[in-house]
Amino acid sequence: MIILSATNITKTYGVDIILQEVSFHVNEGDRIGIVGNNGAGKTTLLNILCGEMPCDDGNVFISANTSIGYLKQSQNFDSDKTLIEEVTAIFSHVADMERDMAELSQDIAEKSSRGENVDKLLQKYDEIMEAYNRCNGYSYKSEINGILNSMAFTENFYDKKISTLSGGEKTRLALACLLLKKPDLLFLDEPTNHLDIGTLKWLEQYLKSYSGTIILISHDRYFLDQTVNRIFEVENHKLYTYQGGYSEYAEKKRQRREEEWRKYEGQQKEIAKQEEIIRRFKQHGTEKLAKRAQSREKRLSHLELVERPEALAGKMKIHFKQQFKSGNDVIFTEKLQKGFGYGQKRKELFHDVELDIKRGERICIVGPNGVGKTTLLKILMGDMEPDSGRLKIGHNVQFGYYDQEQQNLNPANTVFDEMKDSYRLYTDTEMRSLLGRFLFKNESVFLNVGALSGGEKARLSLLKLMLSGANVLILDEPTNHLDITSKEVFEDALLDFPGTVIVVSHDRYFLNKIPTRIMELDTDGITAYLGSYDYYMEKKQEIASGKKYLNELNSAQNSGGMEASAAVDFNNLSASEQRRINKELEAKARRKEREQKRLEEEIESLEKEMAELEEEMCREEVFSDHVLLAKYHDRSEECKTKLSEAYDHWVLVQEE
């Protein structure tokens, strides 16, 4: 069933065309991701679909009785309510039912005691109670607590005024309110902004089980792969639709462009060939050839021309260079500790953080919001002092910092002046050329920095970082405001960079591509994992299974007569004990992997030898020689026994 359809949507701003004759339909239950470069018109399209902005031409149809919810990129709550008051107001109708049922219950009791007829009151009470059940009345409070907790709002936030929340907290609150309302048609504009990895994973699972229809804008490629079944791409004022998630879209788009160019170039070659033949026919001047030339010209004039594929939007050109190499040892720390406040109001961020970072490594730091990742970066650069611990910076280390808030940009400057203030040795022509590589062209170089979009500020910060010549790049959420094309260019530049990279990021696609090590920061220190995000998650699951391992150990100890108090509790172990057990588990996993590989190789070798023996025994010279045949038979039986034992052992290893 079609829940939304758009026909020939056109939108312009002055002479600039944003969307041109865009048509599509959305089926009930669809999960659609809208992608495209910054400024392509994604948010404009969403505003038109939601009815918040008129289109210049075309129509939008939404099926009757469809409730709509819209999460904007920036939420501006004007409410003076507390957080919990704002959320519970969503269920005011349920609270009204509770009050009505309480009043009816009291009324029924009083009238019954006086012997009056209460049949109508009982019927009304029953109707309200049925409606209360349909509205999830008995569990809505636990649902509120669950969603707020998943959005990182603990009970400490409940009585805070909304006006005191940060921009990121307001966005998370708006998303929580929207999910609690459960509209039939859910519009989300960059819902993953300001969410840590744990919250992102929760949101993915929630949206997968959401009963309504979802249309979302996102630059988070991993999130798109996990949540959507269709991709709408806004490109060159048009809209292209693809089935599947982001990875399927990227491959299908590549194939579509190749096919378009193949058809266009093939036709152009054929046209050129025919035009050359026509020219030659006319050149000879005979009547017969002239008629043939006219015939070919007529066929050419009726040919349906294949349009030249539109050029892709310009890509940012970025290449990080270091002015000089650092020493092999870049950063070394011992027992770093940091917190804020004093006495009972003191909040400890982390302690016992130990790092040993070498030249050329690409380190990605992950962890929940509020654990102190940005604070740790500032300590490493010397912009902030730790409360205790030791920090040693290596020889010739030069830091370059990307700030996720872009506080290193002066909003009063123009784009051009911002760059010239920092890099005066470049001529105006050279600076205009560099800005052009970062998509600041023509009059856009004279825009005020304060008027730039988040993506434009991100590109400007990256240009300043590129020109710094630093050999250690410290990056705090660098992909937050970049579109997908810019992200891919930026990632390739980091992979080519010969220096050291230390990044804080929640972008899981980025985390799968960039790091040589992932480091997870928590209050008890930092834990290193070799490799990418998927490997990190795999190891995290293995570590979580340490609890199961310890439970089994406890069970074995208790069955052997050990006191229950001597049993091991994973949650009560110190960080060093947990790391020790995790190392034991990792060592056990490696031993299992090696033994499994050895057994598989042994099984393959035995099966190969048995096949060769059977082939030999079928040969006439062996079959007729009873002594030789007996020898082959004995060896075959020996192989069968060994093969059976190897399979038994392999099964045991698999089940460990």
248-266: buried (b, 16+ CB within 10 Å) or exposed (e) per residue?
Answer: ebbeebeeeeeeeeeeeee
- Residue 614's alpha-carbon distances to 620, 632, 636, in angstroms, are 12, 8, 8
362-388: buried (b, 16+ CB within 10 Å) or exposed (e) per residue?
Answer: bbbbbbbbebbbbbbbbbbbeeeebee
- Residue 568's alpha-carbon distances to 268, 423, 480, 522, 582, in angstroms, are 76, 60, 42, 22, 14
- By the 8 A CB rule, do 532 and 511 touch? yes
- By the 8 A CB rule, do 317 and 492 touch? no
Say what the pLDDT of residue 230 is: 94
- Looking at the chain, the whole-number percentage of residues with pLDDT higher than 70 is 90
Nearest to 253 by CA among 240, 266, 263: 240
CB atoms closer than 10 angstroms to residue 142:
10
Please return the burial class of 559, using the count of CB atoms within 10 Å of its CB with bins 0-12, 13-18 and 19+: exposed
Q: Which two tokens stand for residue 118?
A: 């209460």
Say what the pLDDT of residue 562 is: 43
18 φ, ψ (degrees, to nearest 5)? -100, -50
Instruction: For residue range 288-305, list pLDDT tens digits in order.
Output: 778 888 888 888 888 888
- Residue 495's alpha-carbon distances to 498, 507, 526, 648, in angstroms, are 8, 16, 24, 45
DSSP at 268: H
Residues 6+ apart with CB under 8 A from 249: 35, 231, 233, 242
User: Which segment of 234-248, 417-431, 508-522, 536-550 scores lowest on mean pLDDT?
Assistant: 536-550
Say what the pLDDT of residue 78 is: 62
Please return the burial class of 547, using the count of CB atoms within 10 Å of its CB with bins 0-12, 13-18 and 19+: middle
Say what the pLDDT of residue 138 is: 73
- Residue 461's alpha-carbon distances to 173, 321, 434, 475, in angstroms, are 29, 16, 13, 11
Question: Does 436 score more than 50 pLDDT?
Answer: yes
- By the 8 A CB rule, do 649 and 596 touch? no
Pairing between β-strand 517-522 and β-strand 347-358 as defined by DSSP bridges: unpaired
Between 191 and 405, whose confidence is greater? 191
Please state the rounded mean pLDDT for residues 576-599: 75
Say what the pLDDT of residue 27 is: 92
Question: Does 141 score more than 60 pLDDT?
Answer: yes
CB atoms closer than 10 angstroms to residue 412:
10
pLDDT bucket at 494, cuts 50 / 70 / 90: very high
End-to-end alpha carbon distance in the chain: 49
Pairing between β-strand 388-393 and β-strand 329-340 as defined by DSSP bridges: antiparallel
Instruction: For residue range 61-115, list pLDDT tens digits in order.
Output: 998 889 998 888 766 666 778 888 888 888 888 888 888 888 888 888 888 778 7
User: Which segment of 325-329, 452-456, 506-510, 516-520 scores lowest on mean pLDDT?
Assistant: 452-456
Q: What is the average pLDDT score of the chain?
A: 84
Say what the pLDDT of residue 115 is: 79
136 φ, ψ (degrees, to nearest 5)? 60, 35
Label residue 333 left, alpha or beta by phi (over 0 means left) and psi (-120 to 50 means alpha): beta
Hunting for tokens 């962890």 — which residue is that?
367
Strands (E), 177-219: 185-189, 213-217
CB atoms closer than 10 angstroms to residue 457:
18
Residues 6+ apart with CB under 8 A from 633: 617
User: Which segment of 5-9, 217-221, 590-594 scores lowest on mean pLDDT?
Assistant: 590-594
- By the 8 A CB rule, do 250 and 233 touch? no
Say what the pLDDT of residue 325 is: 92
- Residue 70's alpha-carbon distances to 48, 81, 189, 413, in angstroms, are 12, 21, 8, 34
Between 402 and 163, whose confidence is greater? 402
How far apart, in whole angstroms, are the C-alpha atoms of residue 646 and residue 610?
14
Report the residue count for the chain: 656
pLDDT bucket at 561, cuts 50 / 70 / 90: very low
How far apart, in whole angstroms, are the C-alpha atoms of residue 23 and residue 3?
14
Question: Does 312 score more than 70 pLDDT?
Answer: no
Instruction: For residue range 234-258, list pLDDT tens digits in order.
Output: 988 899 999 999 999 989 988 888 8
Give the three-class secondary structure for 282.
helix
Nearest to 44 by CA among 310, 314, 240, 237: 237
Q: How far does CA 584 lie from the centroid of its chain?
A: 32
How far apart, in whole angstroms, are the C-alpha atoms of residue 277 and residue 299?
13
Please return the burial class of 622, using the count of CB atoms within 10 Å of its CB with bins 0-12, 13-18 and 19+: middle
Q: Which two tokens stand for residue 538?
A: 């795999």
Instruction: For residue range 375-428, list pLDDT tens digits in order.
Output: 999 999 999 999 999 999 999 999 999 988 788 888 888 999 989 888 888 888
Hunting for tokens 């092999």 — which residue is that?
328
pLDDT bucket at 501, cuts 50 / 70 / 90: very high
- By the 8 A CB rule, do 397 and 326 touch? yes
pLDDT bucket at 566, cuts 50 / 70 / 90: very low
- By the 8 A CB rule, do 38 and 456 touch? yes
Q: How far does CA 243 lie from the centroid of its chain?
A: 19
Question: Does 548 score more than 60 pLDDT?
Answer: no
